[in-house]
A and B are shown apart, each in its own frame.
Chain A
């Protein structure tokens, strides 16, 4: 086989595995009592985790697994309309992910989803941006639709671009396409939740 012919494919593969390494450190598994598990993104470097509201039901005992170490976590805010929850998990830390505005995404751009689908730890899925669902009133991005293969357990996990910037939180599967909440909405939610607590 001619090695040169696969040069760009190999470069691509090593780029994808570098992304997987980064994301493995940036996510946790979220367990809620008997309700099964989902994925969470470590927010702001340490102590906070963003996940889907449906992965952290109100009142359920929560635990997060930070690379083999189970820690208790506590939900401190919910946004039911965007299916988001903010958890406090002291002692959990990970890399700080840059955020990317969904408005700058182009259909066809590559995106990667990381999570624990069907109990498989740290699975990376690849796809492209399919389209952006907009709010009919404000025309602001409400959903990022991508042709990544997601399964239960991916919920709450990160959707990142080819440079590892967080573009959204994977929330559901519609007609076989992955749907994520844009990172801007997640940031707004976290900032408001923290401001409320500080006040």
Chain B
């Protein structure tokens, strides 16, 4: 059988894709921090590895198999449960060069490879970017500016591995746990932003009020009496001890209707308002209590420092 002319174009493409996998694999490592199959990680900066937090089950005694086959110990620099990213620092051992990233390859329909290292050898799967979600919220509540939904096969060691474009540039970090089994990737820019915070303070700052809320319908009489523009609000189900909400005077049973002039219809409206709050800034909350409309100003704190309230 002689390869046809178009067959050799196919062979060329195949070789380019294998070359892209090979190039990216130089920054993809295996992390030994769970039982059975090791998880994948990407050397993102000099001596810094990122991976999917849920695959790194231990906090101590973590070793990493480098692409050269050498082994290095690593310590956790920080975790962000909301985006499921973890940052690890490689100790000593000469680490491979960081991956080269390029956000321009992120387009729906672009050919991509998922490259992981669930052990000594690298493994790859192939597909396309099937959708780009803007302003997407993970089920842990974090708003991610962008997330890439992938049409490719998920395998052991997929999460934490690199998403690679056709030229071998890393364009994201793969994760199948962000949306319960669907193959997704966090784009490189998001990874960079989270990584900056993790390396600086070990966690990602998230504004925190210390309340749990649930949507409720407001009675027609209440809506009419206060001339409210809508008939739903958020009833406060719990208030954490010593939380910013308690300090501001919010109590269980209050019905929140507005923050900074924006309506509160769903709990995510409140999360959106909180994620827009800068460090140390405050926001206003308008609520109904005992038939009267009141407004308070509260100053959210950093969630990690905010204690144990809901």
Contact = CB atoms under 8 A, between A and B. Distances in A.
Interface in A36-94: none
Nearest to B168: A108
Interface residues of A, number: 33
Contacts of B4: 15, 18
B59 to A, nearest CB: 28
Contacts of B19: 108
Contact of B113 (A22, A108, A132): A108
A110 B3 contact: no
B1 A107 contact: no
B155 A8 contact: no
B148 interface: no
Interface residues of B, number: 33
A98 interface: yes
Nearest to B157: A131
B6 A15 contact: yes
Q: SS class of chain A's interface: helix, strand, loop or mixed?
A: mixed
B10 interface: yes
Interface in B235-250: none
Interface of A: 8, 11-12, 14-16, 18-19, 22, 95-98, 106-110, 127-132, 145, 147, 161-164, 175-177
Nearest to B15: A109
Nearest to A97: B1
Contacts of B61: none
Contacts of B224: none
Contact of B124 (A19, A96, A130, A161): A130
B22 to A, nearest CB: 7
A14 B3 CA distance: 13
Interface string B1-21: 101101111110111011111
